Amino acid sequence: MRKMATTLPMCVVDYMDTTKSPEEEDIAAAIRAVRARLGEKVLILGHHYQRDGIVEHADYIGDSFMLSRKAADSDATTIVFCGVHFMAESADVLTRDEQAVLMPTLRAGCSMADMATLSEVERDWPAMLEQGGWADPADRADPTAPADTGDAFLVPVTYMNSSAALKDFVGRHGGVVCTSSNARGVLEWAFERAGEGGAVLFFPDQHLGRNTGLKMGLEEDSMPVWIPDMGATGGLDEARIVLWHGFCSVHKRFTADQIAEFRTRHADGVVVVHPECPRTTVEAADADGSTEYIKRFIDAQPPGSNIAVGTEINMVARMAKEHPDKHIECLDAEVCPCSTMYMIHPAYLLDVLERLEAGEHANQVVVPNAVQEGALIALERMLSITA
C-alpha cells in the first residue's frame, strides 16, 4: 500500500496547465496498468467537477444522477465512484447487492448535504406540520396518490445532494428526490400530492428550490426559508415551498455584479450558471441549468463566442480546453475548486485500485438495508417522473 498525502487547492493554481510532474506521470501510468489488469469487472465514474488527472481515467463523466444510473446499468462487479459521498451512496442504493461501490477516499463529503441532517429534519418536521396546518403524507393509505379536494399535505423533496438517510426519510413520508435537471417536473408532481392548501419542503439547497419555484410562477414570499433550531423566516400560512436553509459554498460566490463586469468586457458575451446560484445571479444570466445542461450549452455556442460560466472551476477549465475556438472563463476569477471534490486525488484512485486487485474492497460505501428501503422508493419515484 502506498503512503500519500494531498493538500487542498489554492486559488493560484493554473487550471489551464496540462503538464504533469514526473510523479504525476508515474501515478497515471500505474493507474492505466492496474485498470487494464482489472478489465471490465471495474467501472470508474467521474463527476464533472473532478480534476483532469481523475477524468482521464474515468469510463464515464457526468452529473451525480447520470453517473448513478450508469452504475445501476453496469455489469461491473465493482464501481469506483470519483465524486463525493452522497453520490456513492445513491449509486449503492441503485446498484445490485452483488455490486460493490468504492471511493478513492471516504473523506470527500459535501458541505451542502451536511447542512440538512436527519436529526434536524426529524426534529423540525412536526413543527412545520403544526405551523402550516398540514398533514403528513405518510398517514395516507397511498402517499403517492394525487391529493383530493381540501387536502393539505407537506410533501418532502430532497435534492440529490443529500445523505441516503434523508432520502430514506423522504421515501417514508411520501416524498421524492430531484436533480437540478428535473427539479421543475418533480415539484409539479409534489404539488399534485400536496393539494391546494399544501406545500413542499425542499432541502437542502434553498437556491435551487427558489429558482425553480420562481420559474413556475411562484412569488418569493410564498417560499419562506426554514432555519434549523429557529424556524421559518416568514409565516407558513401562505407557503407553497418551505426552503431549507442550505446552499452550495461554491455557487453562492457567483454574483450579478460579476456578470455585469463580464458584459462590460464582452458586450456580445453569454453567461450560463448553475441553478444553485443565488436568485439575482440566475436572473442576470442568459441561461441556467445542471452541469450536463451547461456542457451542452457551451458545446452549442458558435466559434468565437465569449462565454462566462458560473460553476466549479475544474469543469469550466475543462470546457475551455475542449473548445479552444471559444473564449470561456469562470465568472469568479478567484474561485477555488470544490474542496471536497478536490480530495479525490489520483494517488488515492491508484491506491483503491491496487487494493482491489489484491482482493480488498477499500473505502466501500454501504448503505444499511433499513435506510436503502426508503431511499430507493424516493429515487424510484423520481425515475417515474418526466422532467
Q: pLDDT tens digits, residue range 3-51?
A: 444 443 444 445 556 677 888 899 999 999 999 999 999 999 999 889 8
For 247-281, letters b (16+ CB in 10 Å) and e give: bbebbebbbbebbeebbeebeebbbbbbbbbbbeb
Residue 229 has a pLDDT of: 85
106: Cα within 13 Å, side-chain hemisphere: 9
pTM for this predicted structure = 0.90
Please give the pLDDT value at position 36. Answer: 96
Q: What's the start-to-end Cα distance of the chain, in Å?
A: 45
Q: Residue 334: its pLDDT value, please?
A: 80
CATH homologous superfamily, domain 251-330: NadA-like (3.40.50.10800)
pLDDT above 90 covers a percentage of the chain that reads 78
Quick one: 14 exposed, middle or buried, by C-beta within 10 A (0-12, 13-18, 19+)?
exposed
How high is the pLDDT of residue 335? Answer: 73
Q: How far is CA 341 from CA 68, 130, 324, 332, 336, in A?
A: 16, 39, 25, 18, 11
Low-confidence ranges of the chain (pLDDT < 50): 1-13, 387
DSSP 6: -
Which CATH homologous superfamily contains domain 22-110+340-368?
NadA-like (3.40.50.10800)
Task: Say what the alpha-carbon torsion angle 32, 35, 39, 43 is, to the nearest 10 degrees.
Answer: -120
The pLDDT of residue 240: 98
Per-residue pLDDT, 18: 65
What are the start and end residues of each CATH 3.40.50.10800 domain in the chain? 22-110+340-368, 251-330
